[in-house]
């Protein structure tokens, strides 16, 4: 699996993350925290949680956290962070669709569901995913998503317009698999400090992505019975240097070069269940 292959490379750049978290550090960007709101005493499921840094940061904010990810290596890394930090969070290895279906069938319910950064592109069926989220939320519960904007997918790395705007869940195969975007960020995604770690990572496992537009996502959530209370679009990307010449502003916000017009590079959604 492409994600299992890359986890070690990503982790190699994150500095002493366990100490950072133990000392009160938080890996969440301000946008996620603003959308999530008060978490003290809330039950929270972090879907597609990756290696657990954000999940543990959510637990530090007072939530009772369950993290879910398909990658065995990512879940193992997350559990290792729990042991090293002593910050309580539970991690479960599962495909997100399978997990949502089983959790709903077992009557598991949460006050908050959360997902962030590189989430939607892995989903072949938006409707099933959105419906599954609605099913596992308590009445009055909320879903928060922060992700990279599909408008950015029309550009090549040099900012030339080369692709159609994403739509319909069009599948896209990447022979090169999941890349070492943590290394490419050069510190933008490593709040505990950047380490050189693995160099010139080459993923031997390809992967499939799915290209969805923002309107399709909002529609799927609405059809699942979730009320969209916030939709924010941001003219910057948190941490990731996806394109050439990106400039770094305060708090690791990456913006286009001065000769490139502003475009939305990220969005945030908050949706609530009645």
pLDDT computed for residue 155 by the predictor: 97
Domain chopping of the chain, boundaries:
2-273
* Longest CA pairwise span in the chain (Å): 54
> Which CATH code of 3.40.50.150, 3.40.50.300, 3.30.360.10, 3.40.50.620 fits the domain covering 2-273?
3.40.50.150
Q: What is the pLDDT along the chain (274 residues), one digit of tens a residue?
A: 899 998 999 999 999 999 999 999 999 999 999 999 999 999 999 999 999 999 999 999 999 999 999 999 999 999 999 999 999 999 999 999 999 999 999 999 999 999 999 999 999 999 999 999 999 999 999 999 999 999 999 999 999 999 999 999 999 999 999 999 999 898 999 999 999 999 999 999 999 999 999 999 999 999 999 999 999 999 999 999 999 999 999 999 999 999 999 999 999 999 999 9
pLDDT computed for residue 204 by the predictor: 94
SS3 199: coil
Nearest to 114 by CA among 149, 90, 143: 143
173 class by beta-carbon count within 10 Å (0-12 exposed, 13-18 middle, 19+ buried): exposed
Nearest to 66 by CA among 33, 94, 44, 85: 44
Q: Say what the pTM is.
A: 0.96
CB 190 within 8 A of CB 14: yes
pLDDT computed for residue 1 by the predictor: 83
Structure tokens belonging to residue 14: 């994150």
Q: Is the Cα torsion angle 264, 268, 273, 274 positive or negative in sign?
A: negative
Close Cβ partners of 189 (under 8 Å, ≥ 6 residues apart): 181, 182, 239, 240, 252
d(CA 94, CA 70) in angstroms, rounded, equals 5
pLDDT computed for residue 243 by the predictor: 96
SS3 229: strand
pLDDT computed for residue 208 by the predictor: 95
Beta strands in 89-236 (DSSP E): 90-93, 110-116, 137-148, 170-174, 207-211, 226-234
CB atoms within 10 A of CB 226: 25
């Amino acid at each position: 699996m492409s994600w299992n292959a890359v986890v070690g490379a990503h982790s190699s750049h994150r500095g002493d993350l366990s100490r950072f978290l133990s000392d009160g550090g938080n890996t969440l960007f301000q946008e996620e925290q603003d959308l999530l709101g008060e978490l003290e005493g809330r039950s929270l499921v972090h879907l597609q949680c990756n290696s657990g840094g954000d999940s543990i940061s959510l637990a530090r904010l007072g939530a009772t956290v369950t993290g879910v990810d398909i990658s065995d290596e990512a879940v193992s890394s997350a559990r290792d962070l729990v042991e090293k930090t002593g910050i309580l969070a539970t991690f479960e290895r599962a495909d997100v669709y399978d997990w949502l279906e089983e959790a709903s069938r077992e009557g598991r319910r949460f006050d908050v569901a959360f997902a962030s950064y590189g989430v939607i592109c892995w989903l072949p069926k938006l409707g099933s995913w959105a419906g599954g989220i609605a099913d596992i939320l308590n009445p009055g519960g909320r879903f928060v998503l922060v992700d990279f904007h599909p408008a950015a997918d029309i550009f090549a790395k040099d900012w030339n317009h080369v692709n159609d705007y994403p739509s319909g869940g069009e599948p896209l195969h990447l022979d090169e698999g999941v890349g070492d975007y943590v290394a490419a960020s050069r510190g933008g995604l490593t709040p505990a400090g950047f380490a050189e770690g693995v160099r010139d990572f080459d993923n031997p496992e390809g992967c499939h992505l799915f290209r969805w537009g923002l309107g399709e996502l909002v529609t799927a959530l609405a059809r699942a019975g979730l009320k969209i209370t916030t939709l924010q679009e941001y003219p910057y990307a948190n941490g990731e240097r996806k394109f050439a010449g990106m400039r770094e502003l305060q708090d690791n916000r990456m913006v286009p070069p001065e000769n490139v017009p502003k475009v939305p590079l990220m969005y945030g959604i908050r949706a609530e269940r009645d």
